Structure 1
Amino acid sequence: MKLKYYSFILITFLNIFVIPAQNSSIKITGTIIESVNNNPIEFATVAIFNKNSKKAIAGSVTDANGYFSINSTDSNIYIEISFIGFKTKKVTSYTVKNQKIDLKTIVLEENSQSLDEVLIRSEKSQTEFKLDRRVFNVGKDLSSTGAGALEVLNNVPSVNVDIEGQVSLRGNSGVQILINGKPSVLTNGDSNALGSITADMIEKIEVITNPSAKYDAEGTAGIINIVIKKSEKKGLNGSATLNLGVPNSNSFGLSLNKRTEKFNLFSQIGIGLRTYPSESESVNNDLVNDISVTSIGDGNFNEKFNNILLGTDYHINDLNVVTLSGSYAYEVEDQDNLTTYNRFNASNKLTDNWLRSEKTEATNPKLRYELQYKKNFKRHKEQSLLFSALGSSFRKDQFSDYENTPIIGDVDNLEQKTRTDYKLEDYTFKLDYTHPFLKKYTLESGSQYVINNVTNDFAVDNLTNGEWINDADLSNIFNYEQKVLGIYTTAAFEGDKWGLKVGLRMENTSLSTVLKTTNEESSDDYTNFFPSAHTSYTVNDNFSLQVGYSKRINRPRLRSLNPFSSIRNNFSISTGNPDLQPEYTDSYEITSIHKIGKTSLNFSLYNRHTTDVMERVSVFENNVSISRPENIGSNTTTGFEINGKIAPLSWLSINGDFNINYFNREGFYNNTSFDFKGNRWSTRLTSKIKLPAEFDIEISGDFRSKYKTVQQKVSSNLFADFGLRKKILKGKTILNISVRDVFASRIYESETIQPDFYLFNSRTRGRFITFGISYGFGKGEAMQFSGQRRR
């Protein structure tokens, strides 16, 4: 079979360059369309075979209009037309006139059995490995049905999302998250906006632990790129997805794509309601005065969201494409919490008991718009010039009411309310040029300019004698502006067995903050160089090696810089630090890829050295703990990771991931040494089982070990997810059931043990059960949202 296709490719090549020069050739033409909507089929294969030998003698593919033209010096022939998902058509009867064969219009019919086979084969490759990244195909993850982007990220090897939504890669939280390779307001940690992306919208997630100089240097742990689903199919295509869950995980999404000769129009709308229940527990022990305050609470966070995306690709000609797109999302949040507080004296006797209630409402409008121009060149298909301008804004208007209700002891009946007016604006301008030459060499160069503007207006009022009085000590307006200019160049050689890519990036950062309440201003301006190097060597088809190095930066964001404090829990306060400096990391990695029969194994050994590490440090006074980020020394992490996949049976496949790292912390703060050593490890095992009647089952288990920070000990975690899928209507409709955290065992616990105080915090969200149904129409596929044309 392989020999047949290799022969076909060779003959096609000769057909393009040799046969047209011969005068005795026969010219064969025609147009290929599909049977449902009579739309032309692009890239359909047309092959010419000798009737006697059955050997391929010429070949070609159709253009955007479904048209093909092919020459043959042999007149004793038959023609085969084929395309994935359609029945192959064989033409043996035709008329030769003036050395021409005009087949006119040929109609191909869809082959539903072939489509199912293609879908099944694609599901066998959940994780793919490339030179500088790993690719996780989300569409095959059954347990992600109805989930948000954070839940999906938590199923990606090497990635962890804690109960607070903090994303880390190999245990490092300095991660840059991109959408379709570009920064987005949806990925900004201050906006908490990833919730508007659902699993059904995500095609794949790329994990880049050692990014090249082409990428933004932000993020010491690397880059996570979320790729939204796209479509290249002509005509009207689309899909609809409905999810229902307990607790609320309800959403409806509709995606439409219309592609014509010049335009690719895409749109997407979504609405939903999600509920995140939570249970929390905390302990504040004053070890000097033997006084402790405990709390137990529960609450619900409800989020209603809707979003719309509109855009178009305009193909000026074969070499120039302009894309214009815009999206708008609107979220409404409400949160109810009720917490019971107890205060005990030195004799462990209950002295005070009270309830603290919270009711919070917020609205979050989000706007995103983008203009992109791409120019290709005739000289080489990989030569390109790409310009993009991206703008986005996010706003949060939030109002909270708090009330303390005394039950026992001398506790004030306190009423408070807060107002938050948060505004974020981001602008990104990029220019990238790729120039291949001498077949095996490529030069890349480009620039990027990013502007971030944030304003946070926070006010606290106390009810005093029936009148609301502003608390000036807790209210403030904090402005943050950051501008980063980056310029890069890379050079790459890619041979048959060996490849090398080196690059250098320069970034200038200008940062300014203003705390208007006290007129405190802070500014910083610095320039850094970020080199990178990657190489790979293929020993044979079953074994290859990759080595990479990059230098990264992790800049503090608004939440880490803003010295405001939340009053949700008056005994546990978190503030920012306007004097915080960025982290710098040198990252080294070597990876080997093995294929042994049906088993694939990937081993990685990595080392990261980070300076000016940002860590939260807690101080304790009057039973109140106040944590604030500080730059404390350096950290060296050495780790080992293994990813593996085996398919011992045709109906069973097993994926595994294991990561362990050892770290050495060295630091000194406030006359106290923070030197210590530790380790951290995690493992995930996922089994996929195919059952009769097109049922699929997925079971995954996840374990995260306990680990230390500068002051804390974080407990281990063990949890499991389950998914079940059934295809109906020839694969056009898919039914899903997913259970996330089957045993409700994913609990976040931390302890802070210091000579004069002890802190304990625990939080859990529980089990989520979701039922989903997806339907694809036109040429759309179930579980697929249409979007921009692949470029």
Structure 2
Amino acid sequence: MYNKLLPIIILLISSFYVQSAAAQQPAAKIIITGKVLDSVSRQPLEFITVGIFDNNGRAITGGYTNTDGTYRLALQKDGQLRVRYSLVGYNTKETLIQVTATGTTTLPNVYLNEVSKALDEVKITAARKLIVQKPGMLVYNAGNDPSNKGGTATDVLRKAPVLNVDAQGNVSMRGSGNIKILIDGKYSGQMARSPADALNMMSADIIQSVEVITTPSAKYDAEGAAGVINIITKKGGKQVSGSLEVAGGNWGQVINPRFSMANKKWNINANAHLHRLRQKSANNYQRSSFNRDQLTDIDTLISVLDQRIVKDNTAPHGSATVNTEYTIDSLNLLSIGITSWFGNWPENSLVSTRVTLPDGIIEEQYNQNVDTRAAYLGGDINIGFTHKFKKPGRELALLAQFSPSKDNSRYLADQISPAGILTSREQNNNYTKNREWTFQADYLHPFGRDNKYSFEGGAKMIRRSVGTNYLVARSTASAPNLLEPVPDRTNIFDYSQDVIAGYAIIKFNLPGNWYIETGARVEGTVLKGNFASGNGSFSKNFVNFVPTATLSKKLSETQTINLSYTKRLTRPYISDLSPNINSSDPKNIVAGNPQLQPEMAHQAELSYGITTSSGISFNPAIFWKQTNNSIEDLTITDTSGISTTSKQNLAANRQYGINLSATFPLNAKWSLNNNINISRLDFKSTALQIATKGWGAEFTLNSTYKLPKNLAIQAFGSYNTRTVTLQGYETQNYFYTFAVKKELTASKIVLTLATVNPFTKAVKQTEAIKTTTFNSINLVYHYQQGVKLTVAWEFGKLFQQAKGRKIKNDDIKGQPKG
């Protein structure tokens, strides 16, 4: 399959490159190039306004610096000119130049000093906006939100636009959980294992901003049907900088150290996260099983299952990261990063079960004590090399990453009679080992007059090898204490997934403030699975072509409109495929599906953004998405009333709606940020003869008010209305916090006192399923009411991180939590 795919990828990239070369236009008469850096950190400064004026102060041309601090401006006249460099937060600098010759003139590096005195209130408001629109994305500046102190990445994503986070920490974008989460552009095996766990293992203190990318370009892996989230972390700037954050409350205790060192050649950043997290929930579950007469459609009740489930668990976990960048010279950068994570995420539960017949007779009644262990250990080791050519903007990046991990989980379920006598016992041990290699190359080549056009292309290969060894033992009624192996539930499942991909993108900056970006990505996948015993081996090959396109028009200096389209896919993760059956609750079984196929989605978006001089920002968007062969949870029951839940490709869904994100600075001290998402979701399954549809909405509001003496108060709330699922619906849920922050400027200490759901002991939510063989209602109580005190000490100074490339394996569907 690869032999057929490689020529296609090469032809795709080559064709785009030929088109880009053919489209080049004659160079301008005079080209002025240069670079702008921070005077202290010596790091490149992005978005610096560079203007060229004549001696009378009339503007001749202008532009902005790139991510590497470089700029390139075209002139049609020579002579004595003035170059002005400006950015909010830095002192404006002006230099006098003499241009006497045609061709390219490279100016000396310019170093800007930060403003030493306080900015006026208008500038502060602009510099600290929480929500900012950029082409193809919305950015949440989490570092400017005081309520994030002492929290985790889960708390941060709750406040980001377009996103929704449930009580278990599962993240969704516009109703879909098929998203990919990157950290500084790099995808980690930690996120593939369980995004909910990984986000809880990441401190909010290290997060500078969150990029919510709703229509990713061809540069990103095609995986992630809903979109991509890129978490940008803070980096140190002076020779020594960092922080120590300690937080404690009734639901968790956290220690977050962060340390950085930098000089002209080296930039070293390290951070760690140690967290003891407590989670508690209670469920009242009822399922009525019945037979339906096919002629009369009359249901005959068979039995009613009633369960009470209580979970109260403590999960100790942690992570650590060290990233090192070495500047070989002005054109070459070497980077090495190591990340490790570890922990134990148990889900112990106490379950009481009763089965009642239609005449009221209790057919079965027992209690269960389920003891679980979910220990895990993993890491990422990556190395990257970036070469920048002498021509500004031209760049080649090579990257490699190795991601090993292992999970050792088990449950021991004791079934106890109402009299307190052990009647049966089951133990399930599952050991999973994962090895993943990634190799990636990216090339960027600007061309045309003033570099108005650019070509971007690359290739990527991912090799995954996963082995899961599961062993089930169960006792008999005559000897409930004696565990004996169950051969038909014991096996070794080896699974491999190889992906090879190539992409090409062309970007056009056209007259009239038009911008066009078009590209395509080709991904080939080989899947293989093998069971040590039995005849369950399989092999599958498929190729996906993923086109992307963006059309943007800058209506004015404050208004932009964008239209974009992309095609996305979602591949299943190993836990979706593993046939190991979880029967810790024998009435509700959960199993994987080795035959699960990837899902495909088409999506389009029309967005508009406006920012007024007063700081008001308004970003509405209309979106549409069609998913075929979608991966959905399906629950069925057998004749005994036992349910089995697994993921299946038996439905399609269509979603459309509107998203509104806005920022309102009411005055210099008070600001409001809100996000509204209203959507229609339609499920249809011909195989299951199911069609469900309905409207849903998500609302968030974030407000901050600054008080005298370095005090600030903050309030945040989110509310989700009733939403439909393939087989039923989920009712509304909500989450709200209040926080007070005090800055002790002399000692560089920040104190934050926060409360979560202070007026609600437990948030109640109902999950309902309705089928032709059963109806179920699951009433869930999420206990989150709490208080948290955070003490943070910072030293040194932060600057914008270097723009080194990172591996981003955003091509695997992660596992939800809960």
The alignment's TM-score, normalised by the length of structure 1, stands at 0.82
2:642 alignment counterpart: 624
Write the distance in 2 (CA, Å) between the matches of 1:398 and 1:759: 29
- Which stretch shows the higher mean deviation, 139-148 or 506-515? 139-148
- The answer to whether 1:137 aligns with 2:136 is no
- Which stretch shows the higher mean deviation, 421-430 or 581-590? 421-430
Change (3 A) 1:712 1:591: same
User: Among 482, 487, 498, which residue is 1:483 paired with?
Assistant: 498
- Which stretch shows the higher mean deviation, 191-200 or 170-179? 191-200
Q: Is the 1:239–1:780 contact (alpha carbons within 8 Å) kept by the matching residues of 2? A: no
User: Among 768, 778, 785, which residue is 2:796 paired with?
Assistant: 778
2:538 alignment counterpart: 522
2:626 alignment counterpart: 609
Change (3 A) 1:558 1:617: same
SS in structure 2 of the partner of residue 114 of structure 1: coil
CA-CA distance at 1:343 after TM superposition: 2.7
The unaligned stretches of length 5 or more in structure 1 are 1-15, 19-30, 48-52, 56-60, 65-72, 75-79, 90-107
CA-CA distance at 1:612 after TM superposition: 0.9
Change (3 A) 1:780 1:752: same
**Equivalent AA in structure 1 for residue 566 of structure 2:** S
- The answer to whether 1:220 aligns with 2:225 is yes
1:94 alignment counterpart: none
Change (3 A) 1:460 1:435: same
1:229 alignment counterpart: 234
Change (3 A) 1:521 1:744: farther
CA-CA distance at 1:426 after TM superposition: 2.1
2:263 alignment counterpart: 260
Change (3 A) 1:40 1:626: closer
Q: Is the 2:38–2:45 contact (alpha carbons within 8 Å) kept by the matching residues of 1? A: no
Larger-Rg structure: 1
Q: Is the 2:130–2:663 contact (alpha carbons within 8 Å) kept by the matching residues of 1? A: no
Change (3 A) 1:360 1:209: same
Q: Is the 2:235–2:798 contact (alpha carbons within 8 Å) kept by the matching residues of 1? A: no
SS in structure 1 of the partner of residue 279 of structure 2: strand
User: Among 403, 418, 421, which residue is 2:428 paired with?
Assistant: 418
2:249 alignment counterpart: 245
1:759 alignment counterpart: 776
SS in structure 1 of the partner of residue 222 of structure 2: coil
1:206 alignment counterpart: 211
SS in structure 2 of the partner of residue 613 of structure 1: strand
Write the distance in 2 (CA, Å) between the matches of 1:760 and 1:613: 24
1:146 alignment counterpart: 150
Write the distance in 2 (CA, Å) between the matches of 1:168 and 1:509: 26
CA-CA distance at 1:608 after TM superposition: 1.0
Write the distance in 1 (CA, Å) between the matches of 2:593 and 2:286: 25
Write the distance in 2 (CA, Å) between the matches of 1:760 and 1:699: 33
- The answer to whether 1:513 aligns with 2:516 is no
- The answer to whether 1:359 aligns with 2:371 is yes
Q: Is the 1:604–1:642 contact (alpha carbons within 8 Å) kept by the matching residues of 2? A: yes
2:281 alignment counterpart: 278
CA-CA distance at 1:596 after TM superposition: 4.5
- The answer to whether 1:463 aligns with 2:468 is no
Write the distance in 2 (CA, Å) between the matches of 1:87 and 1:498: 32
- Which stretch shows the higher mean deviation, 581-590 or 172-181? 172-181
1:545 alignment counterpart: 561
Write the distance in 1 (CA, Å) between the matches of 2:503 and 2:283: 47
How do 1:86-97 and structure 2 match up within 5 A?
A: none
Change (3 A) 1:614 1:17: closer
1:13 alignment counterpart: none
Percent of counterpart pairs with the same letter? 24
1:654 alignment counterpart: 672
Change (3 A) 1:677 1:400: closer
1:340-371 alpha-carbon deviations (Å, 9 max, x no partner)? 22232323354544321122233221121110
Q: Is the 1:143–1:740 contact (alpha carbons within 8 Å) kept by the matching residues of 2? A: no
Change (3 A) 1:128 1:422: same
- Which stretch shows the higher mean deviation, 525-534 or 147-156? 147-156
Q: Is the 1:144–1:738 contact (alpha carbons within 8 Å) kept by the matching residues of 2? A: no
Write the distance in 1 (CA, Å) between the matches of 2:225 and 2:788: 35
CA-CA distance at 1:729 after TM superposition: 2.0
2:815 alignment counterpart: none
1:195-222 alpha-carbon deviations (Å, 9 max, x no partner)? 3212112222111111111111111111
**Equivalent AA in structure 1 for residue 445 of structure 2:** H
- The answer to whether 1:342 aligns with 2:354 is yes
Q: Is the 2:42–2:264 contact (alpha carbons within 8 Å) kept by the matching residues of 1? A: no
SS in structure 2 of the partner of residue 143 of structure 1: helix
2:103 alignment counterpart: none
Write the distance in 2 (CA, Å) between the matches of 1:202 and 1:241: 13
SS in structure 1 of the partner of residue 487 of structure 2: coil
SS in structure 1 of the partner of residue 315 of structure 2: strand
Change (3 A) 1:281 1:367: same
2:405 alignment counterpart: 394
1:194 alignment counterpart: 199
Q: Is the 1:145–1:770 contact (alpha carbons within 8 Å) kept by the matching residues of 2? A: no
Q: Is the 2:552–2:562 contact (alpha carbons within 8 Å) kept by the matching residues of 1? A: yes
**Equivalent AA in structure 1 for residue 397 of structure 2:** L
**Equivalent AA in structure 2 for residue 358 of structure 1:** V
CA-CA distance at 1:741 after TM superposition: 3.5
CA-CA distance at 1:790 after TM superposition: 6.1
- The answer to whether 1:643 aligns with 2:665 is no
The alignment's TM-score, normalised by the length of structure 2, stands at 0.80
User: Among 783, 787, 792, which residue is 1:769 paired with?
Assistant: 787
1:48-69 alpha-carbon deviations (Å, 9 max, x no partner)? xxxxx999xxxxx9xx9xxxxx
Q: Is the 2:379–2:403 contact (alpha carbons within 8 Å) kept by the matching residues of 1? A: yes
Q: Is the 1:571–1:625 contact (alpha carbons within 8 Å) kept by the matching residues of 2? A: yes
1:492 alignment counterpart: 507
- Which stretch shows the higher mean deviation, 251-260 or 207-216? 251-260
- The answer to whether 1:430 aligns with 2:448 is no
Change (3 A) 1:343 1:666: closer
Write the distance in 2 (CA, Å) between the matches of 1:391 and 1:600: 42
How do 1:17-416 and structure 2 match up within 5 A?
A: 114=118, 121=125, 124-190=128-194, 192-231=197-236, 233-248=237-252, 250-287=253-290, 288-350=300-362, 352-379=364-391, 381-407=392-418, 413-416=423-426
SS in structure 2 of the partner of residue 362 of structure 1: strand
CA-CA distance at 1:265 after TM superposition: 2.1
Write the distance in 1 (CA, Å) between the matches of 2:43 and 2:364: 76
The unaligned stretches of length 5 or more in structure 2 are 1-30, 51-55, 59-64, 69-78, 94-111, 291-299, 806-818
Q: Is the 1:425–1:452 contact (alpha carbons within 8 Å) kept by the matching residues of 2? A: yes
Write the distance in 1 (CA, Å) between the matches of 2:487 and 2:601: 39
- The answer to whether 1:453 aligns with 2:465 is yes
CA-CA distance at 1:283 after TM superposition: 1.5
Q: Is the 2:283–2:308 contact (alpha carbons within 8 Å) kept by the matching residues of 1? A: yes
**Equivalent AA in structure 2 for residue 387 of structure 1:** L
**Equivalent AA in structure 1 for residue 454 of structure 2:** T
Q: Is the 1:294–1:341 contact (alpha carbons within 8 Å) kept by the matching residues of 2? A: yes
2:9 alignment counterpart: none
Matched length: 710
- The answer to whether 1:685 aligns with 2:691 is no
SS in structure 2 of the partner of residue 535 of structure 1: strand
CA-CA distance at 1:157 after TM superposition: 1.7
CA-CA distance at 1:605 after TM superposition: 0.9
Q: Is the 1:417–1:461 contact (alpha carbons within 8 Å) kept by the matching residues of 2? A: yes
Write the distance in 2 (CA, Å) between the matches of 1:174 and 1:82: 41
1:627-679 alpha-carbon deviations (Å, 9 max, x no partner)? 2222224322221111112122222211121111123333211xx41233322
Q: Is the 2:129–2:663 contact (alpha carbons within 8 Å) kept by the matching residues of 1? A: no
Change (3 A) 1:748 1:145: farther
- Which stretch shows the higher mean deviation, 167-176 or 759-768? 759-768
CA-CA distance at 1:484 after TM superposition: 1.0
- Which stretch shows the higher mean deviation, 753-762 or 237-246? 753-762
CA-CA distance at 1:374 after TM superposition: 0.5
